Amino acid sequence: MNIEAYTAENWGYPPYNRRSFQHVQSLFPTTRIRRGDGPSSELRVSPENIGSLEYTGSEGQQRSINDMLNDTYTDAFIVLKNGMILAEEYRNDMGPDSFHLLNSVTKSFVGVLTGILVEDGLLEPNEKVASYVPEFAATAFRDTTLQTALDMTAAVRFSEDYADRQADFWVETAVVGWRPALVHSQLAKTLFDHACSMVEVEQAEGEHFHYRTILTNVIAMVIERVTGRRIQNLLEQRLWQKLGPEQDATIVVDQSGFPYVGAGMNACARDLARFGQMLLGNGEYNGEQIVPASWVQKTVNGDEKLRTLFAASDYAELVPGGHYHNQVWANAEQGVMMCIGIHGQTIHINQQTGVVSVKLSTHPESADMAIFGDTFLALNALSVAI
């Protein structure tokens, strides 16, 4: 089968995603997040042979880091220790300047930007999103606060079962062209109109952790309304350019030019490593406090309520003992934060050991928990072994 023959209809399915995830800009409208004219922040290199390091797999078997990379459809892999690149590997025709779809890793950029704007006094986490965007008062988001949206504990009924090709998540992606088969005359033309069409709730606010991509888009809509600026421009000026990246980033947009911040960002692996290094440093990087340290610390620490809600969810085994807070997955005891996207996108940050790992992948299935679980076991072990 010719994986180069990807189209808007087949691009998200195997084996075509092995190629298409590096060429999203050729398939869908995108907006650029420009790197700016400044120099790239330095990433020093001190290669080490970490591929033979072993960890215990989910069934108690001994596996190596190379085993994990070989078995999990790896496209790019970078490991930093105290800001030094110890390992950097590209597969599947990727290179240091190759773009790759990040899927829900995109959400963590929105969470971080929110923290910056909270520090500015523009946003209040416990304020209802409808107080910022009055149109939400007649929707399922009428009682949603910015914080319950950030923590995926809001009330909206929204199915995110990736195996169900009719799930609300896939219907939402159809708004930006990702699933042409789901486009019909009644489908909203923009992500904002789609959000405003959500009127049913499935729980009380803050009652359960239920991961729903639409909530990230709602957060971005609040940010745009409050600031009067496009979300892509804020990401560019307040976050991306401050990292000193090597490349621009891009985000898929809807017909109005609003970015699909729930899943549509594309970037190169080295720049994601810089983002991870910034989180490792409690928001400080490239000689500047980019994100408030208190926001990053609250994100990794979480609280007992968040851990209780997470433990009762379908995602509990993905991050044992963990929580989800401010659009980031975390384990407070281990000092670990993770940015995760379907099909195997991961930024793994261990604040206790100073290790950042970036893995970009093209898993055949959206949410193969066995592959994800093996990857996280390997990255956890790696982060304490080097």
CA-to-CA dists, residue 115 to 47, 125, 206, 357, angstroms: 34, 9, 20, 23
Choices 3.40.30.10, 3.40.50.620, 3.40.50.150, 3.40.710.10: CATH for 17-122+230-385: 3.40.710.10
Instruction: Give the mean model confidence (pLDDT) for residues 148-153.
Output: 98
CA–CA gap between residue 212 and residue 180 (Å, rounded):
21
Task: Dig out the tokens for 195 from the structure.
Answer: 């959000």
3-state secondary structure 220-287: HHHHHHHHCCCHHHHHHHHHHHHHCCCCCEEEEECCCCCECCCCCEEECHHHHHHHHHHHHCCCEECC
Residue located via tokens 């009652």: 207
Predicted local confidence at residue 308, as pLDDT:
98
Q: Point out which residues pair with 33 in neighbouring strands.
A: 249
Q: What is the amino acid identity at position 147?
A: Q
What is the DSSP code (8-state) at residue 40?
A: P
Answer yes or no: is pLDDT of 4 > 90: no
**Could you read off the pLDDT of 261-273 as tens digits, one per residue?**
999 999 999 999 9
Predicted local confidence at residue 210, as pLDDT:
97
Helix, strand or coil, per DSSP, at residue 333: coil
Instruction: Give the mean model confidence (pLDDT) for residues 331-350.
Output: 98
**Could you read off the pLDDT of 13-32 as tens digits, one per residue?**
999 999 999 999 999 999 99
Instruction: Give the mean model confidence (pLDDT) for residues 30-41.
Output: 96
In the chain the first and final C-alpha atoms are separated, in Å, by: 40
How many other C-beta atoms lie within 10 A of the C-beta of residue 257? 11
Predicted local confidence at residue 59, as pLDDT:
87
Taking a C-beta distance cutoff of 8 angstroms, is the pair 4, 19 a contact?
yes
Task: Dig out the tokens for 186 from the structure.
Answer: 């009644």
Q: How deeply is 356 buried, as exposed, middle or buried, from its count of CB atoms within 10 A (0-12, 13-18, 19+)? A: buried
∠ CA 126-132-137 to the nearest 5 degrees?
95
Predicted local confidence at residue 303, as pLDDT:
98
**Could you read off the pLDDT of 55-87 as tens digits, one per residue?**
999 889 999 999 999 999 999 999 999 999 999
Q: What is the amino acid identity at position 79?
A: V
* Percentage of residues of the chain with pLDDT beyond 70: 100
**Could you read off the pLDDT of 102-130 as tens digits, one per residue?**
999 999 999 999 999 999 999 999 999 99
Nearest Cα residue to 211 out of 315, 319, 326: 315
Answer yes or no: is pLDDT of 3 > 90: no
Answer yes or no: is pLDDT of 141 > 90: yes
Helices then strands, each counted (H, E), the chain: 13, 15
Helix, strand or coil, per DSSP, at residue 386: coil
Mean model confidence pLDDT for the chain: 97
Label residue 91 by pLDDT band (50, 70, 90). Answer: very high
CA–CA gap between residue 141 and residue 135 (Å, rounded):
10
**Could you read off the pLDDT of 183-199 as tens digits, one per residue?**
999 999 999 999 999 99
Helix, strand or coil, per DSSP, at residue 64: strand
Task: Give yes or no for a cis peptide into 245 (omega within 30° of 0).
Answer: no
* Percentage of residues of the chain with pLDDT beyond 90: 98
In this structure, the strands spanning 62-64 and 54-56 are: antiparallel
Predicted local confidence at residue 13, as pLDDT:
97
**Could you read off the pLDDT of 207-262 as tens digits, one per residue?**
999 999 999 999 999 999 999 999 999 999 999 999 999 999 999 999 999 999 99
Instruction: Give the mean model confidence (pLDDT) for residues 301-320.
Output: 96
Answer yes or no: is pLDDT of 350 > 90: yes
Nearest Cα residue to 240 out of 24, 34, 30: 34
CA–CA gap between residue 22 and residue 14 (Å, rounded):
14
